[in-house]
Structure 1
Amino acid sequence: MNPKNERAELAADPRLGVGNVLTTLLERGTGLDTPTLTFDTEVDGHPAWHALTLAELGERVASRASALHALGVQPRDPVAVWVTDGADQVLSYLALTRLGAIPALINGRVPAEQAAEYIKRLRAVGVIADTPHWDALSAAGNTTELLADPAELGKGDPAAAPRPYRHHGNEPVVITHSSGTTGLPKAVTHSHHSLFAAIRHRLSLPKGQGLDRMLGALPSAHAATVIAVNLALANRAQLAVLSRQSGTHVLDSIESWKPQSVLGFAATWSELAGEDLSTRDLDSVRIWWNTGDCAHEAHIRKLIAVGSRESVTAQGRVHRPGSFFVDGLGSSEMGHSQFFITHTPDTKRYGRCIGKPHAFSDVAVVDDDGEKLGTGQVGQLAINAPTLSLGYWNDSVTTYRTRRDGYFLTGDLVYRDEDGYYYHVDRAVDAVDLGDGHKLYTMLCEERVLADCADVLECTVVAVPTDEGRVVTSVLLMLDPRADQDADRTAEVLAALEPHVARTVERVVVVSPDRIPLGATGKVRKFLLRKRFLDGELLGKESSARQVAA
């Protein structure tokens, strides 16, 4: 097998997509003994952290496909998957797509009441759930049938599995969901080709540094994990899938498994940045690979200070201390990060810079009327790319509300500079118009506070318009445990903000992380914070509150 030729052949195969990468590789019959996926839990007698070969992975998937087929699962059946372990999410996804069914992967941390309503709206034919999740669903009034506990599916006879389903490019192949920060998560429908489009692009390029051994510190029910699994398989690379994305678990896994690259979301980088990384063995890491929301400079700088990387110089390839951080911006609906920028200890372009668009992405910045804006003008990000989802399952109203002139309206506010770099300033639902041509962008405020206030590990800014026509802003700080928890940081925080924003700040409060409501993927639920503030739960009653301005 010539790896270079195989990557080119896979890139050129129009039949290939996220529904059949595994079965296509098995049909090729090469590299059956090469390691593929590793899970942090036991799988059908294989211990945790055992690397499944391609043949072993194919057998484990076929056994589950056989069991599901015997339970009556048919092609095009939507099946909800609500489980704890990454192995159960990934193997259920692979088995259901082998049958041509449509797995609807649900983050295990979604509240049971939301999960029950979400599954009801899916009109799923059944649910794959482990005991804790099934008990929670039952208590929440779920009426959808339990198909199986994932632990039982591995007992199926792989030889009895039906032939792999033949997927077509625009067919729905997997459903993932949005973060649910503004309410019930939305069911995002991906096609066979949409989630593979960025992988196909990468297969046409030279194989990237750090791609041979990847640690997936991503929520296992997310579209990003589906992409990571198929990226690893198509590149004959190893991927370890974590069931938990907490900072300590990720660091422990890096030390024991020695990945070259780590894939994660901004919430995980925040937790890692709060650890003393100098005490950890992170030398194997060359690349931190971010997706979803763009990451904060304060967190990136701590990560790129550790690990090591290869650089090309006039003297050839040299090994240097410090790692790469690949940032961008994506979402379930976008199907893949649409931008990229690479940070090293030597780079200086930050300020929520998300980089430049990938070659496959047509990017526009538009106003409220859908008209394209020019350089330096903040507007809504609009994307037209082959990675885009088909829309929202059983929700054509929301699907068409977010599409305009061939573009998907992301809900993100961005601008482009004269060099063609894009910058993310906020979500449209969180920004506030202050009048006189001034806007308050909460995420940009958080970026500035984190960059300028060394003792602050995480920051949440919430702006609430009042009935009197004022805007009241609260700055919520989570501090380094080693810092003085009682020091007044008001002046430092206000100095980091633009004057028109600082004038709206009513309180700077040091809070415990458990006071900040988070979605299943770790995003702050600002709409819920705004509601709490409007209902009178201002956090300013705490002794650490600093009243700033009337």
Structure 2
Amino acid sequence: MNIRSLQRHLASVRRMKLGPSHRGFRARLELVSERSLGVGTFLWHTLDRAADQDAPLLYHLPRGGGEKDVRVFTLADLRDATERYARWFHAAGVVRGDRVGIYSGDGIANFVHFMALNSLGAIPAPVNPNMAPHIAARYLKRLEPRGVVADADRLDSLVEAAESPDGLGFTVAQEEVDAAGSAGPLPVGYPYMHGDHDPVLIAHSSGTTGLPKAPILGHRQFFAGKRPRILTMPSGVDDRNLLVFPPSHGSGLSYMMMATLTGVPTLVMEEQRGPAVAEVMRWWKPTVVIAFPITFGELAALGVEPSAASRVTTWLSTADASHEAHIRELVRLGRHRSGGKWRQGSRYIDGLASTEVGMAVFQNIHGPDTDAYKRCVGHPEPIVEEATVYDEQGKRLGPNEIGFIAVKTPTETLGYWNDPDLTHRSKHDGFWLTGDIGYYDEQGRFYQYDRVTDVIHTARGPVYSLPTEELVLKACRQAVDCVVAAAVSPTDEELSEPIAVIRLAEPCRLTSEELLSQINGALRKAGTHEVSAVVLVKGENDIPLGVTGKVLKREVRSAYEKVLLSDDDQGLDIARTRAARNSLSSRASTSDPRQDQAV
């Protein structure tokens, strides 16, 4: 909808009786029609139009806390906190264009720092508090920040890991900033009014391929996909969100921004584990649950009480696409409106996104009766101008041809901080290469088969890990999570074989041998490559995750890459196929014993 259409629509609704909503449909229409609305200005435009500035808006649940530990923030509270932080940063010498790192576990503090730094024209660079201090120090030094604010314990670890504070600018504890009060002046011209291409955030990627990358998000670019959602996000008087994204992540900041714009009460969690979310759902009774796929996978596999999900109408996921087995479990819960009545079953909005494009660029909406699975990520979002697939030579491919997925969208990052080479290599012919392998069908629906770095190259050809994981999870409903990854082939060390690393729900009496037989039976039936081994793990941290919740397949590969080359399982619960065991025996009988001893 363009601005002129919105203005005509606005004129018509002023003559209508408006339905109930937290912010009011008229106020939301006025916000959407405001051309200068963007990431850097959303707070001020909302304050201009909101009549409910003292109504509870954001509810913050600290890690490990319960219902009695929730802190409540109104729009007025957010305004005051933003101004207080802005005064502190201004006194510390922060000016337009400066980068400031934020390394805090406090979800609301991340959001307030984000708004305060933008109100000065500075660029916030929040870091997930789960990022290891030595990686955080390397990442932040690369940004050449004016300074870093961190929780006291994290600040000590960060400075120690950096070996010296040099390169981090000023270093200050979050507690000190909070205790500073609201003294001191604000700069002339406060708040800073951003231009379309001004940077408003340096986000970080999950680090699935190494040191997290640093994409720059802009005032207009980062907001482009959010503008229409001001009208489409559920915002009835009975709606309440449960936000489980990391509050330091671009997606977490995005949905706190959307809550501010629409006025929908939103509980912000610092904990992303499924059991913790299930417990909070009992007393918060959300209508919309917003989380990464790993959280939804745990909810589905470990179970959530139907009564806790009784008011859920929407499960909203982004980042990697979700697994069919998990989606089917969740859409059975909750409710939807049909024929004027509430009926059983909810919808699951599955969005494939990346930090670099600032939002989901493909969307697939599932319900109790839908069937668009098999790694289908749906159609491109309306904001996407065009999506396509390229081969390795940069040639466009047709329907059902597997290649590199690319999108042309105004939400594309302004580039990687201080890395023009990486920015250049991520583009082709005006399209952004998402890093995904997949295809599209005759109906224009896209399918994600793998990340480029995770394709398994076997003697029989490429094996795509994501469709294989789908089949494994459907064959083993007791699995909380599954990672299919490459292990070195015992017959040719230049090639690989797929193995499955699986975490089962407790209690589960399946052995690795039983599971291997069950899984490969399903893979044979589907006509796909079998896995050569199954590795059972039990702990929540035994399948390594990046700081944004994505599985670190490079670490899985590193941990288990030699599992088919040796039968020394080092206490792990591993089952291998007969062919893999025969290859092991053959390898052992022909190997040089002195080499074995050396290894």
Tell me whether 1:297 sits opposite 2:320 in the alignment. no
- The change in CA–CA distance for 1:439 and 1:19 in structure 2 (over 3 A counts) is same
Tell me whether 1:482 sits opposite 2:511 in the alignment. no
Aligned length: 541
Tell me whether 1:233 sits opposite 2:260 in the alignment. yes
Match of 2:439 among 386, 392, 415: 415
- The change in CA–CA distance for 1:258 and 1:158 in structure 2 (over 3 A counts) is farther
The within-5 A match list for 1:269-288 is 269-278=296-305, 281-288=308-315
Kindly indicate whether the alpha-carbon contact (under 8 Å) linking 1:71 and 1:147 is maintained by their aligned counterparts in 2: no
- The change in CA–CA distance for 1:5 and 1:469 in structure 2 (over 3 A counts) is same
Kindly indicate whether the alpha-carbon contact (under 8 Å) linking 2:524 and 2:530 is maintained by their aligned counterparts in 1: no
Alpha-carbon deviation of 1:531? 2.6
Alpha-carbon deviation of 1:211? 9.4
Kindly indicate whether the alpha-carbon contact (under 8 Å) linking 2:40 and 2:194 is maintained by their aligned counterparts in 1: yes
Alpha-carbon deviation of 1:519? 1.2
Specify the SS of the correspondent of 1:372: coil
Other-structure match for 2:586: none
Larger radius of gyration between Structure 1 and Structure 2? 2
Other-structure match for 1:85: 106
Q: Which amino acid aligns with 1:351?
A: K
- The two structures, once aligned, show a CA RMSD in angstroms of 2.5
Alpha-carbon deviation of 1:166? 0.8
CA distance in 2, matches of 1:274, 1:18: 37
Q: Which amino acid aligns with 1:355?
A: G
CA distance in 1, matches of 2:54, 2:27: 17
- The change in CA–CA distance for 1:539 and 1:518 in structure 2 (over 3 A counts) is farther
Alpha-carbon deviation of 1:152? 2.9
Match of 2:87 among 66, 84, 95: 66
CA deviation string 1:312-338 (max 9, x = no partner): xxxx32201222111020010121001
CA distance in 2, matches of 1:480, 1:280: 21
Specify the SS of the correspondent of 1:194: coil
Tell me whether 1:547 sits opposite 2:571 in the alignment. no
Specify the SS of the correspondent of 1:189: strand
Kindly indicate whether the alpha-carbon contact (under 8 Å) linking 1:412 and 1:426 is maintained by their aligned counterparts in 2: yes
CA distance in 1, matches of 2:451, 2:572: 31
The within-5 A match list for 1:123-522 is 123-140=144-161, 141-143=163-165, 144-154=168-178, 155-157=180-182, 160-162=185-187, 163-203=190-230, 212-278=239-305, 281-311=308-338, 316-361=339-384, 362-434=386-458, 438-466=461-489, 467-486=492-511, 488-497=514-523, 505-513=531-539, 514-522=541-549
CA deviation string 1:98-138 (max 9, x = no partner): 11110001001111111010011010110010012111112
CA deviation string 1:520-543 (max 9, x = no partner): 122221112223334669797146
- The change in CA–CA distance for 1:104 and 1:507 in structure 2 (over 3 A counts) is same
CA deviation string 1:242-284 (max 9, x = no partner): 1111112212222222221011101111221232323752212
Alpha-carbon deviation of 1:380? 0.9
Kindly indicate whether the alpha-carbon contact (under 8 Å) linking 1:64 and 1:158 is maintained by their aligned counterparts in 2: no
Alpha-carbon deviation of 1:419? 2.3
Kindly indicate whether the alpha-carbon contact (under 8 Å) linking 2:463 and 2:498 is maintained by their aligned counterparts in 1: no
CA distance in 2, matches of 1:433, 1:507: 16
Greater shift, 231-240 or 537-546, is seen at: 537-546
Q: Which amino acid aligns with 1:4?
A: F
Alpha-carbon deviation of 1:481? 1.2
Q: Which amino acid aligns with 2:575?
A: R
Alpha-carbon deviation of 1:66? 1.2
- The change in CA–CA distance for 1:151 and 1:258 in structure 2 (over 3 A counts) is farther
Alpha-carbon deviation of 1:88? 1.8
Kindly indicate whether the alpha-carbon contact (under 8 Å) linking 1:218 and 1:245 is maintained by their aligned counterparts in 2: yes
CA distance in 2, matches of 1:251, 1:72: 44
Alpha-carbon deviation of 1:204? 5.3
Specify the SS of the correspondent of 1:351: coil
Alpha-carbon deviation of 1:431? 0.7
CA deviation string 1:140-165 (max 9, x = no partner): 02521344322332343178444211
Kindly indicate whether the alpha-carbon contact (under 8 Å) linking 2:455 and 2:463 is maintained by their aligned counterparts in 1: yes
Q: Under a length normalisation based on structure 2, what TM-score does the superposition of the two structures give?
A: 0.85
Greater shift, 57-66 or 538-547, is seen at: 538-547
Other-structure match for 2:584: none
How many percent identity over aligned positions?
34
Alpha-carbon deviation of 1:63? 1.0
Alpha-carbon deviation of 1:210? 9.7
Alpha-carbon deviation of 1:95? 1.2
Greater shift, 390-399 or 248-257, is seen at: 248-257
Alpha-carbon deviation of 1:233? 1.7
Specify the SS of the correspondent of 1:337: strand
CA distance in 2, matches of 1:217, 1:330: 16
Q: Which amino acid aligns with 2:471?
A: R
- The change in CA–CA distance for 1:470 and 1:205 in structure 2 (over 3 A counts) is closer
- The change in CA–CA distance for 1:255 and 1:170 in structure 2 (over 3 A counts) is same
CA distance in 1, matches of 2:262, 2:488: 50
Match of 2:117 among 96, 118, 137: 96
| Structure 1 gaps, min length 5 | none
Kindly indicate whether the alpha-carbon contact (under 8 Å) linking 1:62 and 1:158 is maintained by their aligned counterparts in 2: no
Greater shift, 301-310 or 271-280, is seen at: 271-280
| Structure 2 gaps, min length 5 | 1-13, 19-23, 581-599
Greater shift, 162-171 or 481-490, is seen at: 481-490
Kindly indicate whether the alpha-carbon contact (under 8 Å) linking 1:171 and 1:191 is maintained by their aligned counterparts in 2: yes
CA distance in 1, matches of 2:420, 2:453: 21
Specify the SS of the correspondent of 1:108: coil
Kindly indicate whether the alpha-carbon contact (under 8 Å) linking 1:265 and 1:292 is maintained by their aligned counterparts in 2: yes
